[in-house]
Amino acid sequence: TKKAQPTGKLILYTSVPIDTINKVKAEFKKKQPGIELNIFRSGTGEVMDRIYSEIDPRVAGLIQADLIWVADFTEGEKLKNRGQLLKYKSTQADNIVSLLTLTILPEWLKEQK
The pLDDT of residue 49 is above 70: yes
User: Percent of the chain at pLDDT above 90?
Assistant: 34
Q: What pTM value is reported for the model?
A: 0.73
Q: Residue 98: pLDDT above 70?
A: no
| 113/111 Cα distance (integer angstroms) | 6
Q: What are the structural domains of the chain?
A: 8-112 (3.40.190.10)
Residues 6+ apart with CB under 8 A from 17: 71
The pLDDT value given to residue 1: 67
